[in-house]
Amino acid sequence: NISSVFCSGSRSSKTFKPKKNIPEGSHQYELLKHAEATLGSGNLRMAVMLPEGEDLNEWVAVNTVDFFNQINMLYGTITDFCTEESCPVMSAGPKYEYHWADGTNIKKPIKCSAPKYIDYLMTWVQDQLDDETLFPSKIGVPFPKNFMSVAKTILKRLFRVYAHIYHQHFDPVIQLQEEAHLNTSFKHFIFFVQEFNLIDRRELAPLQELIEKLTSKDR
C-alpha cells in the first residue's frame, strides 16, 4: 500500500506543511480508501481511472489532496538541502526557471529562491484545498463551475516541485533511500494527469524523458 509506505517510520514527522486530512466517514474518505486499495494492486493505470458511477470533480479533488500530501512529505525530507544558497532560483534544470505569481497577492511574477517559491506554492495550494467553496468536504455541496480549472492550476504547480526535486536534489533523495517513493509517487501523479488530461504537455517538458521512461513499461 503506497500510503502506508509514505507514513512509515520517522518520515511521517517531516512534512513541509501540515498534512491535509480528508474527513473520516465522508464519501471522499471512502474514495481515498478505494484509491489506496487499487494502488496496492500495483497497477497504476487502473488505480487512476474514475471508479464507476463516481463524480469526476470529486475524484480529482480527492487525488489532488493526496498528491499535495505526498509532495509535502517528499519535499519535507529534503528541505535541509534546498536553501537560499543552494537554490537561489526556482529551477528544473538549466532551461526551466519559474517565477511566482498567484494573481491575488502577487500579480506580477517575481523571481525568488526555490525554498521561497515552494513555500509560496504550497501555502497557496493549502489555501485552495481549505476553501470550502472550491473543495467542498460536505456531502451534497456542489463543486464550483471553475473547479477543474483550479485543480489544473494546482496540479501544474505541484508538478514543478517534483521537477525541482528531480533536477536539483536527486542525490540527497538517493542518500535518504527515498528514490522508490519519489518515483512511485511521481508515476502515479503522471498517470493521473494523463488519464484526465490535466496538465499541458509543454508544462511537463522539464521531465519529459523521465515521464517516457516511467510510463513506457505500462503501455
CA distance 198 to 211: 15
87 marked among binding-site residues: yes
213, amino acid identity = K
CA distance 154 to 28: 18
7 marked among binding-site residues: no
Look at the block and give the residue holding cell 465522508: 26
What are residue 200's DSSP bridge partners? none
Determine contact, residues 173/165, Cβ cutoff 8 Å.
yes
Determine contact, residues 138/147, Cβ cutoff 8 Å.
no
Closest CA to 154 of 112, 191, 115, 123: 123
> From the annotation, which residues make up the binding site?
82, 87, 164, 169
Q: Which residues are annotated as a binding site for Zn(2+)?
A: 82, 87, 164, 169
